[in-house]
Amino acid sequence: IIKKAFMEGKMLRPGQELSPTETEEIGLLYETVINFVEEEKKEEELDNELVDYWNKVYEEQKDSLKTRPPVVTVMGHVDHGKTTLLDNIRNTKVAEGEEGGITQSIGAYQLEYNDKKITFIDTPGHEAFTEMRARGAQATDIVVLIIAADDGVMPQTIEAYNHAKDAKVPVIVAINKIDKPNANVELTKQQMVAKLNLIPEDWGGDTITVPISAISKEGIDELLEMISLVSEMEEIKCKPNGQARAVIIESKLDKFLGPVATVIVKDGILKTGDYFIAGSTYGKVRRMIDDQGRTIKKALPSTPVQVLGFNEVADTHSILYVTNSLNQAREISGKKKEKEDLANQNINKKHVKLEDFMKMMEGNQKKVLNIILKAGTFGEIEALKNSINKLQNPDIDIDIVHAGIGTVTTSDIMLASASDAVVMGFRVKVDNKAKKDAEKEGIQIKRYDIIFQLIDELKKALQGMLELEE
């Protein structure tokens, strides 16, 4: 595939992830129709039904929509001060307003500044943008792009900005670390212009730019004020009443509580006792815990809250929709599950296993077995290659797609998945991530310590005589 794509002027690397469109393009090089894209579309249909439903609700209830507090994400290059800023805002502002202060972190928090609420997401990632947008909702209303004044615009600054721009989310720039002696605010602004095409307001542009120090807290009040201002200008709206929908920003299996997720309510009021679907799972809101560890019975729009009562761990970044009844929740999630299982089966079926190699190749004139070989030393690789080559015969081609030294890693699995190969390890370990990925991708990993055994199993596989050992 890599060679063929290269001839067509497209550069690919082993292990590279492809978009559905790219997959389709490559499929066309082989005159193969990839149904993958279709499958994915089908999967999204159910979500789309719900999205359509909500769009209609918005259309019909235009006049009764109300503003809600903004949900803010801080993004920027590593070490530019995201965590420090979020922690310090939380510690000063939330603790100021509430007795007792924070008891636990649920991944997002809400504060009040000049009588206006603002919600901050604690642990943002770029995926949150792309995935949630694909699912028809946006978690974030405003992005604070943080740039350290002693380091300037860096690659992840640009990446973060591009995500925000793609998602059409307004951006406020916070130039951080101005307390440092080598901070250079002017130079940082020049780089904003040159590298991001963002012109600060005080330079005649329209990008709100606030110099801050996350450590000394200088400028933080101003930043919060700017957030309030932008949110007013943006008129962030919601459906204030009725059944809720919410975005899931974090999800995990808690040892004591079972599957839990932190959600931010986008519309309606989420209540204890509500039934819901979320991605391919469903549940009933058994309990809700707010960002200060208190149990609450109702969560209004833009409130972050931890929800207990999921049937299974939900996909992060999926959308939670309240349904009329448990039956409705089960029914919708059941339909989704069926589709997912089907898609997974198709994935696993695709890859070759030594035991059924001959069966899979039945009817093919030329049978090709692809192998990825990992061993402890060069000497071992050479010895194995020689022995394996002796097994070649006119009907069967054994292709060693890749031979390398050392532990079997994820990149071997990805290559195996791309080339439909079996991974054979000789006197090497398999790392844990590779094991998990192999399971997910349906890739077989075989391990041997004795050459004879490896060759013997290969021989049997080629004769269609190897029994499945699992």
- Which residues are part of a known binding site for GTP? 76-83, 122-126, 176-179
From the list 209-217, 262-270, 365-373, 452-460, the region that binds ligand GDP by CB under 6 A is: 209-217
Measured CA to CA, the distance from residue 267 to residue 237 in angstroms comes to 9
Binding annotation: 76-83, 122-126, 176-179
Residues in contact with ligand GDP, counted by CB under 6 A, come to a total of 15
91 sits near ligand GDP (criterion: CB under 6 A): no
107 vs 120: CA distance, rounded Å? 9
Distance CA 60, CA 202 (A): 41
Let me know: does 94 contact 224? Beta carbons within 8 Å. no
Is residue 317 at the binding interface for ligand GDP, with CB under 6 A as the rule? no
Q: What is the DSSP string of 257-282?
A: TEEEEEEEEEES-EETT-EEEETTEE
Stretch that binds ligand GDP, among 1-9, 71-79, 184-192, 257-265 (CB under 6 A): 71-79
Using the minimum distance from each CB to ligand GDP, give the nearer residue, 177 or 446: 177
Residue list 337-356, contact with ligand GDP (CB under 6 A): none
The encoded tokens of residue 286 equal: 């058994």
State yes or no: residue 179 binds ligand GDP (CB under 6 A). yes
Residue from 213, 228, 280, 409 touching ligand GDP (CB under 6 A): that is 213
Instruction: In angstroms, give the least distance from the CB of 166 to ligand GDP.
Output: 21
Q: How far is the CB of 83 from ligand GDP (least distance, A)?
A: 3
The residues, ordered by sequence, that sit 6+ positions from 268 with a Cβ below 8 Å of its Cβ are 238, 239, 240, 241, 242, 243, 244, 245, 301, 322
| 264 scored as a contact of ligand GDP (CB under 6 A) | no
For residue 22, give every residue at least 6 positions away whose Cβ sits within 8 Å of its Cβ, in sequence order, or none.
none
Cβ closest to ligand GDP, residue 213 vs residue 243: 213
192: left (phi over 0), alpha (psi -120 to 50) or beta: alpha
Least distance CB 20 / ligand GDP (angstroms): 32
Q: Cβ distance 167 to 175 under 8 Å?
A: no
- The answer to whether 291 touches 108, Cβ cutoff 8 Å, is yes
Q: How far is the CA of 338 from the CAs of 131, 280, 281, 314, 325, in angstroms?
A: 21, 9, 12, 16, 20
**Minimum CB separation from ligand GDP for residue 414, in Å?**
28
Q: Give the list of residues 6+ apart from residue 54 with CB closer than 8 angstroms, or none.
A: 136, 245, 267
Nearer to ligand GDP, 23 or 84 (CB): 84
262 binds ligand GDP (CB under 6 A): no
Residue 71 has a CB neighbour count (10 Å cut-off) of 28
245-254/319-323 β-pairing:
antiparallel
Nearer to ligand GDP, 67 or 84 (CB): 84
Q: Does 78 bind ligand GDP (CB under 6 A)?
A: yes
Query: Could you say whether residue 154 binds ligand GDP (CB under 6 A)?
Result: no
CB of residue 128 to ligand GDP, shortest distance in Å: 16
Please identify, among the stretches 174-182, 229-237, 313-321, 392-400, the one whose residues bind ligand GDP according to the rule CB under 6 A: 174-182
Coil, strand, or helix at residue 3? Answer: helix
Q: Is 83 in the site for ligand GDP (CB under 6 A)?
A: yes
293 close to 304: Cβ distance less than 8 angstroms = no
Query: Which of 81, 259, 268, 425 touches ligand GDP (CB under 6 A)?
Result: 81
286 binds ligand GDP (CB under 6 A): no
Residue 84 lies near ligand GDP (rule: CB under 6 A): yes
Of residues 352-411, which lie at the interface with ligand GDP (CB under 6 A)? Answer: none
Does residue 185 touch ligand GDP according to CB under 6 A?
Answer: no
Taking the least distance from each CB to ligand GDP, the nearer of 163 and 177 is: 177
Binding flag, residue 123, ligand GDP (CB under 6 A): no
Q: Which of 82, 90, 135, 189 binds ligand GDP (CB under 6 A)?
A: 82
Among 93, 177, 374, 446, binds ligand GDP (CB under 6 A): 177
Q: Least distance in Å: CB of 218 to ligand GDP? A: 8
Give the shortest CB-99-to-ligand GDP separation in angstroms: 27
Nearest 5°: phi and psi at 412?
A: -65, -40
Rounded to whole angstroms, the Cα distance separating 457 from 462 reads 9
Any contact of residue 180 with ligand GDP (CB under 6 A)?
A: yes
Choice between 145 and 265, CB closer to ligand GDP: 145
Q: Report the residue number, 157 or 323, with the smaller CB distance to ligand GDP.
A: 157
DSSP 29: H
Pair 74, 142: CB distance under 8 Å: no
176 binds ligand GDP (CB under 6 A): yes
Sign of CA dihedral 258, 264, 269, 275: negative
C-alpha 258/C-alpha 260 separation (Å) is: 6
Give residues in contact with ligand GDP (CB under 6 A). Answer: 76, 78-84, 176-177, 179-180, 213-215
